[in-house]
């Protein structure tokens, strides 16, 4: 998308544009660390509590167990995590950070800090507070809307 594009016609279009650009920027920065977009939440969960099961991760991240399995397989290949059988139940697999998974934390924090600076450059504290209020309200509206079963 060109920055010279005409102004969007609706706020919803602008929000979609901002979301897409944010995803694109995050993907580019995470790619430099060897991570995909969905993987940082797995790392955050394991930094908080290492040795979670696939089910624990799926519940915590609100994604399907199949998605967790694919993410863990990818993260094993890149050396960030490893799976080990549970000590008391060999049918259960637990996910643990490797040394690389622990070491990437500082670099990932630098990515988030950089995105924060880039995204909110030129905003003063009052504007940031107001923006936070609006974004929280939009999120709540979307949560409410996704709970509805039908359109009409």
3-state secondary structure of 52: strand
Sorted by sequence, the CB contacts under 8 Å of residue 2 that are 6+ apart come out as none
Give me the tens of pLDDT residue by residue for the chain, a chain 152 residues long: 455 565 668 999 999 999 999 999 999 999 999 999 889 999 999 999 999 999 999 999 999 999 999 999 999 999 999 999 988 988 899 999 999 999 999 999 999 999 999 999 999 999 999 999 999 999 999 999 988 766 65
Q: Which helix (H) or strand (E) holds 117?
A: helix 99-119
Residue 114: give its domain's CATH number. 1.10.10.10
Report how far residue 9's alpha carbon sits from residue 93's, in angstroms, rounded to the nearest whole number.
50
Report how far residue 24's alpha carbon sits from residue 21's, in angstroms, rounded to the nearest whole number.
5
Is 1 within a domain? no
Is 94 within a domain? yes
Is 152 within a domain? no
Asked whether the CA dihedral 113, 123, 36, 4 is positive or negative, the reply is negative
Q: What is the pTM of this model?
A: 0.80
Is 2 within a domain? no
Range of the domain at 20: 11-147
């Amino acid at each position: 998308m060109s920055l010279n594009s005409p102004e969007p016609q609706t706020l919803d279009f602008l929000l979609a544009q901002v979301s897409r650009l944010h995803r694109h920027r995050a993907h580019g920065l995470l790619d430099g660390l060897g991570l995909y977009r969905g993987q940082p939440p797995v790392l955050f969960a394991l930094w908080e509590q290492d040795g979670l099961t696939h089910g624990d991760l799926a519940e915590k991240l609100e994604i399907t167990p199949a998605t967790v399995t694919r993410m863990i397989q990818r993260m094993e290949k890149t050396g960030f995590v490893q799976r080990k059988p549970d000590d008391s139940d060999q049918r259960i697999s637990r996910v643990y950070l490797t040394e690389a998974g622990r070491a990437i934390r500082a670099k990932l924090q630098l990515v988030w800090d950089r995105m924060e600076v880039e995204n909110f450059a030129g905003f003063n504290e009052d504007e940031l507070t107001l923006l936070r209020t609006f974004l929280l309200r939009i999120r709540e509206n979307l949560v409410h809307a996704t709970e509805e079963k039908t359109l009409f």
